[in-house]
Structure formats: structure tokens, C-alpha cells
Amino acid sequence: MSKTLPSLPTQADDMRMQMALRQIDFGAAATRAMAPVPAMAPNDALALRRQDWLMEVQERQRALSPYASGLLTAENLSGEDFLHGFYAPGRPVLIKSAIAHWPALTRWTPDYLAKTVGDAMIEYQGGRTGAQDYELKKEKHRRRAPFRQFIALARKGGNDAYLTASNSAANGPALRVLEADMGPIDAYLTRAPGMLWIGGEGAFTPLHFDLTNNLLAQVTGTKRVILIPPSQTRRLAHRSHVFSDLCDITDEARLTLHPQARDVLRYEVLLSPGDLLFIPIGWWHQVRSDSFSTMLTHTNFHWPNVGHESYPAG
């Protein structure tokens, strides 16, 4: 079932701390809470069922309030309100028109990008069509080409040629010329560069969760994002690393194989030019491009962004 997107309250005070923490030795307690948890016994199915039970109960309790259970939208969200209302609680938020002033929003057409970057060699993900494990086996799908040639491939649409965040380390020098068209997002992020995504209509990232908090910044084109809270994990055929065997929660053929996923709680978001979408660590999501589009992923928040170091990969 999909959720609508209620708006934030107009009073900024509603997003601020209303109660001071009075717990004795709170700092020490927080440190203990971050300590590694002993591993479960391999067959401790009861403990896993209890964990699932608790997450289900918490989700039902949030559903009592549209404000607590909805995916909120905001404009002009301060860094303090973002921290207290979303980053610290691990709650998604769509921040409208936050980068609408960037020159990139009007400049980054396929023609402009091809002319500006030219024939500099770049890396992208290719050979994805017909390969169901292209995200799990990224190394197998790395390709190199002159940027102008890649843009020609992306303009054709489809999922076979996609410049993704996993290519960022290799592409920094070639794409640095585009930085002049962007600006900082100082309220939430440091000045470290984001990771660029460029793809055509139909470019698709299958259902997964990330091991960091992410901020998506949509520059041109539109993307459709489906978000699913961690409480739904047991219904999502999670076996391989951070990926779901479902791949696409909207694919009827996949749902026939995994019928337990039909009624998961999910949020559907249209990400438009200038928008930011905060996706907390552990939240499932899949992303599909409606058109040729460019987007950035940022993980360089002002606050700690940890979790990947201790993930039990299995």
C-alpha cells in the first residue's frame, strides 16, 4: 500500500526538541548502545521472530498518526530541523526546490554535457540488459568510453548504459569541469563532491538498501523512487548482501514468485529537478528514470554517517 506525502507543520517549533534529555550519564549510555552486539546462535529463529514482531508493532503504532507515518515534504528546511526531525530519527524527507538555483538545472542537456566534457574517457555501467545481478556484480559491468560516446548511448534510453555512483572514483577528473554549474548544500553537507548519476529514460536501480545515509539531489529529468521502511524486510526476499530477490516491487512476475511482498508498506516519490530526497540507512528503495536525467548522491553529512563498517555481510 502506498502512502501520501503530508506537509511539514508551518511552525518551526514543531520540528525542534520540546523536551530536554534528563537521563543520568546519557553519553555513557549512548556509547554502550553503540557497542557491537554479540552474534546470535545460527538457529535462533525465535529471536528473529521477536525482532520482526517488534518492528511490526512499532509500524502499526506510527500508523495511528498521518504525521508520524507519512513521508513528509518540506521547503527551506534548516540544518537544525533536518537533524532533529529526520537525520537523527532515521526518517526520510522530500525537500522541494532546495537546489533550484543551480545553473546545472537549465544547462545540463545531453548536448551541453557532451560538448562540455567532450571526449574525456569515463567509466560507466554497461551490459546490464538481461543480467539480473548487474548491481551485485558491478565489476563485471564496468565499461570505458569517451564521454561523448556514452551520452549518445544514454540518449537512446534503456538500462544498458548508466553512469552511476559506483563509477565516481574513476570519473572525478573527467567530470570536474561540471562542478562550476553546481553549488553547495551547506545546511546538511560538507563541501565534498557528490557522486553523479547520468542515464536515459528507463535506467533502473533495483530494490536494495544502503549502508550509509544518502541525500539524492535531482538535477535534470525526473525519477520515480519507491521507499520501503526496514520494518518490511522479512517480506522482501532479502538474501544477497543489501539486495532483494524481488528486484522490482512493481513487477507482477516477481510478485508472483514472492507473494509475501504484495502488501508491503511503501512510499512513492516523484523526484523533480531541484529536489532533495533524504534516504536513511537501512531504508529499501528502487529508482527508475522517467527521462534522460542527472542526479547526485551525497553521503558527506555534517553528522556521523556510520554503519557500513559493522554490517554483518554474511
* Spatial contact of 84 and 19, defined as CB atoms under 8 Å apart: no
**For 8-12, 168-172, 262-266, which range has the lowest pLDDT when averaged over its residues?**
8-12
Question: Which residue ranges make up each domain of the chain?
Answer: 2-7+46-302
CA dist., res. 294 & res. 148, Å (int):
15
Task: Give me the pLDDT at residue 130, please.
Answer: 80
Q: 54-80: per-residue pLDDT in tens?
A: 988 998 998 898 888 889 999 999 999
Q: 131-185: per-residue pLDDT in tens?
A: 777 787 788 899 999 999 999 999 999 999 999 999 999 999 999 999 999 999 9
* Total-model pTM: 0.86
Buried b (16+ CB within 10 A) or exposed e, 46-77: eeeeeeeeebeeeeeebeeeeeebbbbbbeeb
Could you count the other beta carbons within 10 Å of the beta carbon of residue 93? 22
Residues of the chain with pLDDT > 90: what percent?
A: 69
Q: 191-207: per-residue pLDDT in tens?
A: 999 999 999 999 999 99
- Mean of pLDDT over the chain: 88
Domain 2-7+46-302 listed as CATH 2.60.120.650: yes
Task: Give me the pLDDT at residue 200, please.
Answer: 98
| N residues, the chain | 314
Residues of the chain with pLDDT > 70: what percent?
A: 86
Task: Give me the pLDDT at residue 43, please.
Answer: 63
Where does the pLDDT of residue 39 fall: very low under 50, low under 70, confident under 90, or very high at 90 and above? low
